[in-house]
Amino acid sequence: MNDLTERQRFLLSLVIHEYVRSAMPVGSKHVVDEFNLDMSSATVRNDMAVLTDMGYLRQPHLSAGRVPTEDGYRLFVSNIVQETDLPDSTRRTISHQFYQMRQDVEGWTRLAASVLAHQSRAASLVTAPHPEESRFKHIELIAARGRQVLMVLVLMGGEILQRFITLDEPVTQEQLSSAADHFNNLYTGRNIEDMSSDHTPLNTLEQDFRKSVLDEMESAESMISGDVVLDGLTNVLAEPEFSAPGEARRALRVLEEKPLLNEILSKTVLHSHSQGGVQVLIGGEGIYDALSQVSIVLARYGTPGLATGTLGVLGPMRMPYGRTISIVRFLSSLLSDMVNDTIVE
């Protein structure tokens, strides 16, 4: 496939491996020596010339070794790379950490981000699980100071929304509790549409709250992902490609600019090269300038239709893809299990 001989693809993978390891252009002789190849450097040279012509390799300077191009990485990831499985002991350790966290939903995302960052030695991002459809589970109304009320809204799936509401006139906790009870009896299990079309008579206070509840549920539904938890940003700073002034900044900025990040998280599902559920976005793909030096390995987790989230890793394009993909896949399935085991329905 792709007009490449088996040997050329093999050599491409060797060059990528070596470049990932050393971060320096890889020469023909170097490859032969390093991997004890049973051919001469001239042979390698010829094939490398072909790979360069085809756009998979590139020479930084005319007299230096070869470096993989974006296309080279892409070919490698989609056709050549094989995942390097995590050692069993590591898998067990991680599973155990999550088991101990099973009680603390908020802790999951933080733990996932932390584990991803450590294992991949890159920056990680994890969004909390988020239901695709907002369905009412439970409401609690709590009197705060003055005419303020704290509304705590629990959705099917376990998501908790909280919001302050300022009323026109003060009310008692009893009135609030009664309104909450009323809602809980009326709406539990129903989605926005259901609730909108319901015309059970409500008193003025309740009508106010009903509007707030619907508002909140709608904004929850339209949100693609909840908070993004980041970790390991400093890992990226250790990479040599980001020692040039401004490069590190450009790369990490992607993670701090929420609009851009959200766009990438939502679009990437379509645009990128998939590896059985794990998405790999290599170097901006000509679309995102800010990503020109980095790659992102992403996966969704959870149960489609119910609650899903996204998790992934951002690192230099010069990244150990086999290993990273394997880590992301493992954590994705682990988190899916967590979500499924404890989902509120």
Partner DNA sequence: AATTAGCACTCGATAGCCTTGAGTGCTAAA
Partner DNA sequence: TTTAGCACTCAAGGCTATCGAGTGCTAATT
26 versus 125: smaller Cβ distance to DNA: 26
Nearest approach in angstroms of CB 95 to DNA is 42
Nearest approach in angstroms of CB 62 to DNA is 4
Q: Does 269 bind DNA (CB under 7 A)?
A: no
CA distance 111 to 100: 11
Residues at the site binding its own copies, with contacts judged by CB under 8 A: 102-106, 137-138, 140, 142-146, 148, 150, 152, 154, 158, 160, 162-166, 231-234, 237-238, 243, 245-246, 248-249, 252-253, 256, 340-345
Q: Which listed option, DNA, its own copies, none, makes contact with residue 148 (CB within 5 to 8 Å by class)? A: its own copies
Q: Which of 86, 22, 54 is nearest to 239 (CA)?
A: 22
Site for DNA in 24-83 (CB under 7 A): 25-30, 38-43, 45-46, 48-49, 52, 59, 61-66
Q: Which of 229, 224, 221, 223 is nearest to 265 (CA)?
A: 224
17 versus 66: smaller Cβ distance to DNA: 66
Tokens read off for 106 = 């908020």
Site for DNA in 115-174 (CB under 7 A): none
Residue 80's SS3 state is helix
CA distance 207 to 117: 47
Site string for DNA, 7-26 (x = CB under 7 A): x-----------------xx
Q: Could you give the C-alpha distances from 71 to 93, 183, 269, in angstroms and in order? A: 36, 56, 19
Q: Which listed option, DNA, its own copies, none, makes contact with residue 237 (CB within 5 to 8 Å by class)? A: its own copies
Q: Which listed option, its own copies, DNA, none, makes contact with residue 175 (CB within 5 to 8 Å by class)? A: none
DSSP structural state of residue 77: I
CB 332 within 8 A of CB 300: yes
Q: Which of 335, 336, 334, 324 is nearest to 298 (CA)?
A: 324
Nearest approach in angstroms of CB 342 to its own copies is 5
Cα angle for residues 6, 8, 61 (degrees, 5° grid): 170
CB 251 within 8 A of CB 293: yes
DSSP bridge partners of 303:
none
Q: Which listed option, DNA, its own copies, none, makes contact with residue 25 (CB within 5 to 8 Å by class)? A: DNA
Nearest approach in angstroms of CB 28 to DNA is 3
61 versus 145: smaller Cβ distance to its own copies: 145
Q: Could you give the C-alpha distances from 229 to 97, 98, 226, in angstroms and in order? A: 18, 16, 9
29 versus 138: smaller Cβ distance to its own copies: 138
**Which residue shows structure tokens 């190849």?**
37
117 versus 328: smaller Cβ distance to its own copies: 117
Positions touching DNA (CB under 7 A) are 7, 25-30, 38-43, 45-46, 48-49, 52, 59, 61-66
